[in-house]
């Protein structure tokens, strides 16, 4: 009995000691790896805390099996910049099954000695800054289930390539792969070639090869990979139709073919795949199609068909997609009325802008059930009638963009004080009557654009003082008379203020305190007198338009003016005397149709090094054109016509 107890104790002791030895050996390899790698310790959360005082199996990023062997290593996002080559101790971790080195910046080739890690089932080198040719040795990792070597060349300035070996040579022996991600890897491969190469992967479920310089056509044989659930081929020059056989992929959840140069008619049957949760075929301007009738389904949550040539009316059955949360059909040729989205209660984003939708929105019921809606854009259509007041009561809604339509009525708003709305764009419609006073109850507004409507009446600008977050206010081109109270101190955070054609009599004095102001448009008003000197001292002002007024001169002094203006438009005033100094930063300068009567400054070319447009037309400038104008090398439009200029053109 004692002998049996002793033998049992001996076996247990040997196992424990063996476990410690294994861990010590692995720990030594990992510490050697750490010492050889170059990384930013301030951004590291794993490598920087590796040390001998703690067993390596307890280190962050390290996973061990019961025997003490390291089987998992995650060094992603460790700000590693070098120290990794064929001699790395990493390749002595023979039991590794999972390795992630993604989101670093190695700036080196992928070492061929990866083939020593025979037990790997998961390998991620994604966005790690590897460059050059992917080595053929990766093809010897025959147990791989997931392979991710995605890349972006702008991180390194050099491409990661899969040309020799090509895709077929890489995956020929990797029949166990279920997930393959090669985004950004340059392949330069024709459609039949890369499609047939993928047939070596009968278990493939997820395929992502966006921006790989692939050519079309998409071969129908791709649908023979019956387990495919994810297909992502964005930003390739496929110039292809989409195979209808994709509709036979019964497990398909994600189809993304954005910016692929797709042509022909998109197969309606694909929209009806019952497992489909996300489809993106945007930025294919020559792709035609229309929507089928949709059955009741909660699977599809993302539908993006923007910037294509889809047409027809939207089926009312669109609301049967009760799992839909993101809908973008912008920049198409859809017609007819906008259907009700009553059953699609999970919708958070709707963009139907730049189509040919018409009619009116007959009732508030179209939107009142969309309690998760965050953004809606119906701009650039032909929708008329009343703007549904229910939109403004949706609890999560942040953006309403209805510009360039034919809406004619906006009623006073009720119960909107708790609204989260930050953007309201109703510009370029036919809305008449006074601006609703209740708009100022939308206290979260950052952008308010009401220009080019038929709003009328007297508008006190100080009413907008309650909108503490307001950065953009545009009331231009209505029938308003905007009054500025002389006691108005400032609109705290205003960046863009457009009050064109608002019957202003003076340049509002409070503007001198608007330190964040970047764009100011006071054109088409009835402003008389002088351009105030303080306007040049607004250090963030980049665009100033006071054209089409009755300004006569400039408040002095005009010497040593420093301005950051990109756009300065003074045309159609009654300005006289000497023209002000041209802002050196200006791209667009228009002093035309005034009464300036001075010489053109000798150093004009030095001020206009980046200027594209300059007009001094219809003034009384005299003398010759200075030779320095030749230094204005960026000029595309130069107009000195209708002045008293003489001499030769330099």
Split at pLDDT 50, 70, 90, the class of 22 is low
Beta bridge pairs of residue 39: 80
Non-local (6+) Cβ contacts of 144 within 8 A are: 120, 121, 122, 123, 174, 176, 177
Q: What whole-number distance in Å separates Cα of residue 632 and Cα of residue 193?
A: 53
**3 state SS of 460:** strand
C-alpha of 78 from chain center: 26
- Count CB atoms within 10 A of the CB of residue 436: 14
Residue 17, pLDDT above cutoff 60? no
Lookup result for tokens 């007819």: 336
Residue 306, pLDDT above cutoff 50? yes
Q: What whole-number distance in Å separates Cα of residue 527 and Cα of residue 553?
A: 12
Res 422: pLDDT:
97
- φ and ψ of 201, to 5 deg: -115, 75
| Pairing of the two strands 309-313 and 333-336 | parallel
The 10s digit of each residue's pLDDT in 394-444 is 999 999 999 999 999 999 988 887 789 999 999 999 999 999 999 999 999
The 10s digit of each residue's pLDDT in 30-54 is 999 999 999 999 999 999 999 999 9
Structure tokens at 332: 């198409």
- Count CB atoms within 10 A of the CB of residue 5: 9
Q: What whole-number distance in Å separates Cα of residue 286 and Cα of residue 45?
A: 48
Q: What whole-number distance in Å separates Cα of residue 385 and Cα of residue 376?
A: 17
Residue 619, pLDDT above cutoff 90? yes
Split at pLDDT 50, 70, 90, the class of 192 is confident
Q: What whole-number distance in Å separates Cα of residue 338 and Cα of residue 360?
A: 8
Q: What whole-number distance in Å separates Cα of residue 199 and Cα of residue 227?
A: 12
Least confident range of 108-117, 176-185, 454-463, 580-589: 580-589
Res 561: pLDDT:
62
Res 232: pLDDT:
98
Burial status of residue 164 (CB atoms within 10 A of its CB: 0-12, 13-18, 19 or more):
exposed
What is the helix, strand, coil percentage profile of the chain, to 5? 20, 25, 55
Residue 557, pLDDT above cutoff 60? yes
Q: What whole-number distance in Å separates Cα of residue 628 and Cα of residue 625?
A: 9
Q: Which CATH code is given to the segment(s) 527-650?
A: 3.80.10.10
User: How big is the CA angle at 634 (ends 630 and 635), to the nearest 5 degrees?
Assistant: 70
Q: Which residues of 222-245 are buried (b: 16+ CB within 10 A; e: fewer)?
A: bbebeebbbbbbbbbebebbbbeb
Q: What whole-number distance in Å separates Cα of residue 596 and Cα of residue 244?
A: 69
Stated pTM of the model: 0.90
**206 or 560: whose pLDDT is higher?**
206
Res 365: pLDDT:
65
User: Residues 309-321: what's their mean pLDDT?
Assistant: 94
Percent of the chain surpassing pLDDT 70:
94
- φ and ψ of 102, to 5 deg: -65, 160
Q: What whole-number distance in Å separates Cα of residue 502 and Cα of residue 498?
A: 9
Least confident range of 148-157, 160-169, 370-379: 148-157
Res 607: pLDDT:
84
The 10s digit of each residue's pLDDT in 226-276 is 999 999 999 999 999 999 999 999 999 999 999 999 999 999 999 999 999
Res 20: pLDDT:
39
Beta bridge pairs of residue 336: 357
Res 64: pLDDT:
95
Residue 16, pLDDT above cutoff 80? no
Answer for the pair 235, 259: CB distance below 8 angstroms, yes or no. Answer: yes
User: Residues 376-391: what's their mean pLDDT?
Assistant: 94
Split at pLDDT 50, 70, 90, the class of 309 is very high
Non-local (6+) Cβ contacts of 258 within 8 A are: 234, 235, 280, 281, 282, 283, 284, 304
Of the candidates 7, 103, 16, 115, the residue with the CA atom closest to the CA atom of residue 61: 103
Mean pLDDT of the chain: 92
Task: Classify the phi-psi angles of 572: left when phi > 0, otherwise alpha if psi is within -120 to 50, otherwise beta.
Answer: left
Split at pLDDT 50, 70, 90, the class of 558 is low
Percent of the chain surpassing pLDDT 90:
78
Residue 337, pLDDT above cutoff 80? yes
**1 or 503: whose pLDDT is higher?**
503
Answer for the pair 464, 487: CB distance below 8 angstroms, yes or no. Answer: no
Residue 12, pLDDT above cutoff 50? no
Lookup result for tokens 């061990």: 64
Residue 152, pLDDT above cutoff 70? yes
**3 state SS of 250:** coil
Q: What whole-number distance in Å separates Cα of residue 87 and Cα of residue 110?
A: 12
Non-local (6+) Cβ contacts of 445 within 8 A are: 421, 422, 423, 424, 439, 467, 469, 470
Split at pLDDT 50, 70, 90, the class of 462 is confident
Lookup result for tokens 């590693």: 80
Sign of the CA dihedral running 625, 628, 630, 635: negative
**Does 217 sit behind a cis peptide bond, omega within 30 degrees of 0 on the bond before it?**
yes
């Amino acid at each position: 009995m004692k002998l049996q107890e002793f033998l049992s104790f001996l076996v247990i002791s040997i196992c424990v000691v063996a476990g410690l030895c294994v861990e010590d050996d692995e720990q030594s390899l990992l510490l050697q790896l750490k010492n050889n790698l170059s990384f930013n310790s301030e951004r590291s959360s794993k490598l920087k805390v590796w040390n001998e005082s703690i067993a390596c199996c307890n280190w962050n990023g390290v996973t061990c099996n019961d025997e003490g062997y390291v089987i998992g290593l995650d060094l992603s996002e460790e700000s590693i910049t070098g120290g990794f080559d064929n001699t790395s101790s990493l390749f002595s971790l023979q039991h590794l099954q999972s390795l992630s080195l993604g989101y670093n910046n190695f700036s080196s080739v992928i070492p061929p000695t990866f083939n020593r890690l025979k037990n790997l089932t998961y390998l991620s080198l994604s966005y790690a800054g590897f460059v050059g040719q992917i080595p053929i040795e990766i093809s010897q990792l025959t147990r791989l289930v997931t392979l991710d070597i995605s890349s972006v060349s702008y991180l390194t300035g050099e491409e990661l390539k899969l040309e020799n070996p090509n895709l077929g040579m890489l995956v020929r022996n990797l029949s166990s792969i279920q997930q393959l991600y090669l985004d950004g890897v340059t392949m330069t491969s024709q459609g039949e070639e890369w499609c047939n190469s993928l047939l070596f992967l009968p278990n493939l479920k997820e395929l992502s090869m966006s921006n790989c310089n692939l050519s079309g056509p998409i071969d129908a044989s791709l649908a023979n990979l019956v387990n495919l659930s994810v297909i992502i081929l964005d930003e390739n020059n496929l110039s292809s139709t989409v195979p209808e056989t994709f509709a036979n992929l019964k497990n398909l959840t994600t189809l993304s073919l954005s910016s692929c140069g797709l042509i022909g008619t998109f197969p309606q049957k694909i929209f009806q795949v019952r497992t489909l949760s996300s489809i993106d075929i945007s930025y294919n301007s020559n792709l035609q199609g229309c929507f089928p009738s949709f059955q009741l389904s909660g699977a599809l949550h993302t539908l993006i068909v923007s910037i294509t040539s889809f047409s027809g009316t939207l089926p009312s059955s669109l609301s049967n997609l009760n799992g839909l949360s993101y809908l973008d059909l912008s920049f198409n040729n859809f017609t007819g009325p906008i259907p009700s989205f009553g059953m699609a209660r999970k919708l958070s984003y709707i963009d139907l802008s730049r189509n040919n939708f018409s009619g009116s929105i007959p009732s508030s019921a179209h939107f009142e059930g969309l309690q998760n809606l965050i953004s809606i854009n119906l701009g650039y259509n032909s929708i008329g009638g009343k703007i549904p007041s229910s939109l403004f009561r949706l609890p999560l809604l942040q953006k309403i963009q209805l510009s360039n339509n034919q809406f004619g009525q906006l009623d006073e708003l009720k119960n909107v004080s708790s609204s989260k709305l930050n953007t309201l764009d109703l510009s370029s419609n036919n809305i008449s009557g006074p601006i609703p006073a209740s708009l100022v109850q939308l206290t979260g507004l950052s952008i308010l654009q009401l220009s080019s409507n038929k709003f009328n009446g007297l508008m006190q600008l100080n009413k907008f003082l309650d909108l503490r977050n307001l950065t953009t206010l545009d009331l231009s081109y209505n029938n308003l008379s905007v009054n500025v109270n002389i006691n108005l101190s400032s609109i705290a955070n205003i960046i863009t203020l457009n009050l064109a054609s608002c019957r202003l009599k003076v340049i509002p004095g409070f503007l001198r305190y608007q330190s964040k102001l970047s764009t100011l448009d006071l054109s088409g008003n009835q402003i008389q007198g002088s351009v105030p000197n303080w306007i040049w001292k607004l250090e963030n002002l980049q665009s100033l338009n006071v054209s089409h007024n009755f300004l006569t001169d400039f408040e002095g002094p005009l010497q040593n003016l420093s301005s950051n203006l990109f756009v300065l438009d003074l045309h159609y005033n009654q300005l006289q005397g000497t023209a002000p100094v041209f802002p050196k930063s200006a791209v667009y300068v228009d002093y035309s149709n005034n009464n300036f009567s001075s010489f053109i400054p000798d150093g004009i070319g030095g001020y206009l090094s980046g200027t594209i447009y300059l007009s001094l037309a219809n003034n009384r400038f005299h003398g010759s054109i200075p030779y320095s104008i030749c230094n204005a090398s960026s000029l595309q439009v130069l107009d000195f016509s209708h002045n008293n200029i003489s001499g030769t053109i330099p």
